[in-house]
Amino acid sequence: MKFSISLGNAENASADGLVFFAFEGDPQKFVVLDRKTGGLVAQAFKKKEFSGKKDETLFLRTPFSKILLVGLGKKAAFDCDKMRNSCANAFSALKTLDCKTIAFSCPDNTPVQEFGRVCAEACVLGDYAFEKYKTPDKDEKKKIVDGVSIFVPSDAVGAKKVVDEAALICACANYGRDLDNEPANKATPTFLAEQAKLLAKTHKLKARVLEKKELQKLGLNAFLSVSAGSVQPPKLIILEWNPANASDTIIVVGKGITFDSGGISLKQSHDLDKMKFDKSGACAVLGIMKAASELRLPLHVVGVIAATENLPSGSASKPGDLVKAYSGKTIEILNTDAEGRLALADAIAYAEKQYRPSAIIDVATLTGACIIALGDVASGLLSNNDELAERLKNAGDYSGERVWRLPLWEEYAEKIKSDFADLKNTGDGTAGTITASMFLKNFVGENTPWAHIDIAGTAWVTKQKGPYNLGATGVGVRLVTHALKKWRRLSKIVAKTTG
């Protein structure tokens, strides 16, 4: 899909489909369009067929093109998230009508670059569908949008730069979605390792994969305990983007449980097929590394993925087992379905020791408790560093991948103290997202800025939502990439666990 930016309005665009936005009760901007449609627009307002209310649409078929009027609601309630969703809905509607080219007209008094960005995001994310394993219908013609024109009143050059960058980052998110949507019988830990090596080969990244024997030798026993029940060998995958002008070293860690049955603490069968998405954090890390390379970020970015299956068998870890993690801390495994934190604990500790980073960010579908707390609207954010947390919050607001910060107060640490080891991998059933994060905090250096992003509720959708179709959302790619794009050295370390 190609994007072009033009000055002016879209009334005279040669596209198959034209999209115009209106705030509630604001018909006057359509004077030229009304004249061109023979008064249809004014008539629609007069008959109250369209008034510009939020999510209201009116379709007009004319001899020269298909026209879609989209309501944005009241001006005072306008924000980029609503604009992105409106653009996505319009794109989807016109694509369904087999429009090969679509033109969007910037609403009045709307920041040009912001409109261009969210419009590009909506189109690239909304154009995605995972149909790799579907047999094509020979009689059905595939509907493809070849080009999108964005009409703005000014600053076409600035808008073009922003649009191109947004499209690139969203393409990296779609790359992650492709991997995340792969079923567990295809996307094994070995598959993820192969994809990482392929990405490294095509994007000037350095790739290294630690195999089971090396993991055993190094003592990543918490991670290995998760893989004990599977015939698929675990992989610790490491990717590096390290340009000559790199300043800080940032580690991004992803949970890569390619299928999570819960292990001996077996999950219920309802929606168990969705547990192929327990690798969403890992796929986000691959998308972030692709973006870091393509944007040529002036940072040393290290992507670390703990990839394994979590299955029950005669060799699987059992509730009550004790393991010694890479850091030297001992862990009592009370619930084998609290496995992601075990894998991440060793991945974080190993990566920190090897690279001594300026900051660590981990992305994981870690807790069902986060879904209960925040639903599918926001990801959970927990951090030992206020400045890092604020940057991620701002990046989330900017990208639309919003986060909500939860506290890491010391009182919560009491809930994961074990009678038989240093820690236990689950608490008392309350504050599950926080106690899981408190567990991870034990494996981060005291003076290392760290943030955990729990994407359990945002990693996939079961029906269309905004720019996302069925399946993986690629959440985390745009959020973390925008944070890295604006990266500057953290001015201070906030050692206390605030929130």
Alpha-carbon gap, residue 259 to 273, rounded angstroms: 9
Alpha-carbon gap, residue 77 to 54, rounded angstroms: 10
Please name the amino acid found at residue 470.
Answer: L
Q: Which entry of 341, 393, 402, 415 is annotated as an active-site residue?
A: 341
Q: Which entry of 54, 82, 267, 318 is annotated as an active-site residue?
A: 267
Respond yes or no: is residue 206 known to be catalytic.
Answer: no
Q: Which of 359, 351, 272, 369 minimizes the C-alpha distance to 311?
A: 272
How many other CB atoms are found less than 10 A from the CB of residue 175? 19
How many other CB atoms are found less than 10 A from the CB of residue 158? 14
Strands of the sheet containing 2-7, edge to edge, are 2-7, 147-152, 101-105, 17-22, 66-71, 57-61
Check: CB of residue 279 under 8 Å from CB of residue 181: no
Residue 307 structure tokens: 């990839």
CA 249 vs CA 79, 83, 203, 289, 454: distances in Å: 34, 35, 19, 13, 22
Alpha-carbon gap, residue 321 to 341, rounded angstroms: 15
Respond yes or no: is residue 48 known to be catalytic.
Answer: no
Please name the amino acid found at residue 233.
Answer: P
Check: CB of residue 479 under 8 Å from CB of residue 403: yes
Say how many CA atoms lie within 13 Å of 237 toward its Cβ: 36
Check: CB of residue 31 under 8 Å from CB of residue 13: no
Residue 176 structure tokens: 């992650």
Alpha-carbon gap, residue 239 to 203, rounded angstroms: 11
Burial class (CB in 10 A: 0-12, 13-18, 19+), 462: exposed
Check: CB of residue 131 under 8 Å from CB of residue 174: no
In 358-401, DSSP assigns E strands to 359-364, 379-383
Residue 423 structure tokens: 């820690």
Check: CB of residue 451 under 8 Å from CB of residue 385: yes
Check: CB of residue 222 under 8 Å from CB of residue 325: yes
Residues marked as catalytic: 267, 341
